[in-house]
Amino acid sequence: METPKVLLSGIPDYHKIDVYLQHGGYKEIRKALAMQPADVTGEVKKSGLRGRGGACFPTGLKWTFMPKGTDKPKYLVVNGDESEPGSFKDRQIFEFNPHQLIEGILITNYAMGIEAAYIYIRGEYHRWVDLLQKALDDAYEKGFVGEAMKKTFGKDFTTNIYIHKGAGAYICGEETSLMNSVEGRRGYPRFKPPFPAQNGLWGMPTTVNNVETIATVPQIMKMGGEAYSGIGAERHPGTLLFGVSGHVNKPGVYELPTGVLLTDIIYDICGGVKGDKKIKAVIPGGSSMPPLRGDEIEGVRMDEESLKPLGTHIGTGGIIVMDEDTDIIKITKRIAHFYHHESCGQCTPCREGTGWMEKILQRILDGNGSMADLDLLVSVCNNIEGNTICALGDAAAWPVRGFITKFRDEFEARVSKKREFTAPNIVHGRRQAAGSLVFER
Amino acid sequence: MDIVFSESELEKVEEIKSRYPELQAALMPVLWMAQKKFGWLSKEVMMYVAGLLDLSYAHVYGVATFYTMYFKKPMGKNHIQVCTNVSCMLGEGEMIFRHISEKLGINNNETTPDGLFSLEEVECMGACGGAPMIAINEDYYENVSIMMIDDKFDLLKQS
């Protein structure tokens, strides 16, 4: 079956507005404007589109949470913070398909009656901020965005789009933290409820969607929700941008329908493992998702509903492949270090717990670990999970616990190094002193 | 250098303010502008930005210190950022870091005495498919090798 190209068309120079227009660009917004806003949302609902930021929440349903018939200004925030290790997909959209993203924002804003959208892009993406800004300037110039929309489309609806650049904080990918960051504050996550749809940016109704989600919307309008829902897996339809990295011959971003076999991605699309080695572990959806062991990946389909029973999630679709020679403890420690570094410090279990995990794992790496450390690590994970305001705590706990439980043998081997001591024969006892004692640590 | 924006930069600040319903939201973009112009965010720069946006210095300081990409100390002309996160680690990112560190004779978060290079070990930069990767100032270099780095650094030294 040929893979439908929804997001990355592969047409040369598609990022330029003229080329985009030649291929039917900005037609879908006209189509949407001819419909009732509720029908646009209905179409997205019908498509079964689920959020691409990792939580897989049904997009159409999320849109219906926005209050109707209110005088308050409403906002859309497009989340392009993309900082999860292993995921690098949104960058492709900024670079190769920015106008589809802009058109998607227009349609989304029309569906919910939103007056302004902020695209949040991580600070490291200087070049991609510039690329998207260029596309946005072109769209403004052609009258597709802003005041000129009224004249261009002949409908009483205008919306503005702005880019907000982050400055290097993983936590700002969390929706409430992201809103604080747009407001010019420290990126601390907020309590939920109230949810953004009631109390978001500046206390107004706000919807937060991932870049990939929004960029899909014009294609849903084009082919119709019904047709889109026929692509890929039934309960998680559509195409996903899978970012594959690690020990594969051809790493990169590939657009594939959901429900594709993980082994097909690794062996066919990415050309197999480097040096034809065996696979020890695969992280299926960015570093915060529990890993799959090499012997578990056979027959695994890449969609949320298929991965859930395996105790992991599709996340952002960032697949990291590790070959048989990978030091799992080192990888676990690196992941723990990342979450320690990125914890915002607001909640004690996460602020302290992530640090403890890193220290314990460092101790094990240095050869000073003990068997009790493994249970201690799991206990720390259990005490972080669910006890924090945002999901960063869970994101830190899941991979560590996942690696320890799935690679227990390897961890145990590392901590149970047998050490021999010669017993000093300077004490007296009724028992015969042994020549040497073996201590198991 | 006097800590003031030029006329055209002040116009830009006004344009940034107009994007948001509240003044405070302009803080991050204006800090970016200030960093670009003055090189780093000294106390004077932060006070100046606070004055421009009618914010307290404490708030500006709080925001500037939360985000790692705002420099709170002077940086070298070339800011070398080496990723050593999972995907890059699998692609020998740590070796690249060690090599650069030895080559420049500085450790993480240090600047060479001639002020040419600053070295930083960074978290994932979103280029995992091109591991190992480094960034020099605003530019990404993916699939780097030690040879490539040596050539590039020689060029940077000459310029």
Q: Which of A305, A323, A341 is the last residue of a domain?
A: A323
pLDDT band (50, 70, 90) for residue B1: confident
Q: Is A426 helix (H, G, I), strand (E, B) or coil?
A: coil
Burial letters B30-59, b for 16+ CB under 10 A, else e: bbbbbbeebeebbeebbebbbebbebeeeb
Q: Which of A229, A251, A273 is the last residue of a domain?
A: A229
Which of B22, B69, B86 shows the shortest C-beta gap to A334? Answer: B86
Give the separation between CA A249 and CA A269, rounded to whole angstroms: 10
Residues listed for chain A? 441
Asked if residue A342 and residue A240 are part of one domain, the reply reads: no
Give the separation between CA A214 and CA B117, rounded to whole angstroms: 40
CATH of the domain at A179: 3.40.50.11540
> Considering the domain boundaries, does residue A276 fall inside one?
yes
Asked if residue A359 and residue A406 are part of one domain, the reply reads: yes
Asked if residue A339 and residue A261 are part of one domain, the reply reads: no
Give the tokens for residue B52: 């421009």
SS3 content of chain A, % helix, strand, coil (to 5): 45, 15, 40
User: A376 lies in which domain range?
Assistant: 328-432
Asked if residue A205 and residue A119 are part of one domain, the reply reads: yes
- Tell me the C-alpha to C-alpha distance, in Å, between residue A258 and each of A52, A379, A392, B148: 12, 35, 26, 38
CATH of the domain at A399: 1.20.1440.230
Domains, chain B: 7-66 (1.10.10.1590), 78-158 (3.40.30.10)
Asked if residue A143 and residue A72 are part of one domain, the reply reads: yes
Q: What is the pLDDT of residue A416?
A: 83
Q: Which of A276, A307, A323 is the last residue of a domain?
A: A323
Of B89, B69, B80, B83, the C-alpha closest to B125 is B83
Which of B55, B66, B89 shows the shortest C-beta gap to A187? Answer: B66
**How much is the pTM?**
0.93
Q: Which residue of B has its CA nearest to A184?
A: B25
Asked if residue A310 and residue A420 are part of one domain, the reply reads: no
Cβ of A86 within 8 Å of Cβ of B124? The answer is yes
Asked if residue A239 and residue A211 are part of one domain, the reply reads: no
Backbone dihedral angles phi then psi of residue A171, each to the nearest 5 degrees: -60, -25
Asked if residue A248 and residue A383 are part of one domain, the reply reads: no
> Considering the domain boundaries, does residue A12 fall inside one?
no
> Considering the domain boundaries, does residue A33 fall inside one?
yes
Per-residue pLDDT tens over the stretch A302-358? 999 999 999 999 999 999 999 999 999 999 999 999 999 999 999 999 999 999 999
Does position A429 have pLDDT exceeding 90, yes or no?
no
Question: Is the Cα dihedral B125, B126, B129, B130 positive or negative?
Answer: negative
Residues 6+ positions from A54 with CB-CB distance below 8 Å: A84, A285, A286, A288, A313, A314, A315, A316
Q: What is the pLDDT of residue A69?
A: 86
Q: What is the pLDDT of residue A433?
A: 47
Does position A143 have pLDDT exceeding 50, yes or no?
yes
Backbone dihedral angles phi then psi of residue A79, each to the nearest 5 degrees: -90, 105
Asked if residue A308 and residue A170 are part of one domain, the reply reads: no
Give the tokens for residue A119: 């695209």
Give the separation between CA B135 and CA A317, rounded to whole angstroms: 24
Q: What is the pLDDT of residue A421?
A: 52
Does position A423 have pLDDT exceeding 80, yes or no?
no
Asked if residue A393 and residue A302 are part of one domain, the reply reads: no
Are the CB atoms for A262 and A284 separated by under 8 Å?
A: yes
Give the separation between CA B62 and CA A185, rounded to whole angstroms: 8
Give B 70-109 residues with CB within 8 A of chain A.
70, 84-87, 89-91
Give the separation between CA A293 and CA A284, rounded to whole angstroms: 11
Q: Does A185 touch chain B (CB under 8 A)?
A: yes
> Considering the domain boundaries, does residue A376 fall inside one?
yes
Average pLDDT over chain B, rounded to whole? 96
Cβ of A124 within 8 Å of Cβ of B125? The answer is yes
Per-residue pLDDT tens over the stretch B73-83? 999 999 999 99
Q: How many domains, chain A?
A: 3
Average pLDDT over chain A, rounded to whole? 93
> Considering the domain boundaries, does residue A166 fall inside one?
yes
Give A 187-246 residues with CB within 8 A of chain B.
187, 202, 243-246
Give the separation between CA B148 and CA B159, rounded to whole angstroms: 17
Asked if residue A205 and residue A111 are part of one domain, the reply reads: yes
Asked if residue A416 and residue A274 are part of one domain, the reply reads: no
> Considering the domain boundaries, does residue A438 fall inside one?
no
Give the ipTM of the model, two decimals please.
Answer: 0.96
* A171 Ramachandran zone, left/alpha/beta (phi>0; psi -120 to 50): alpha
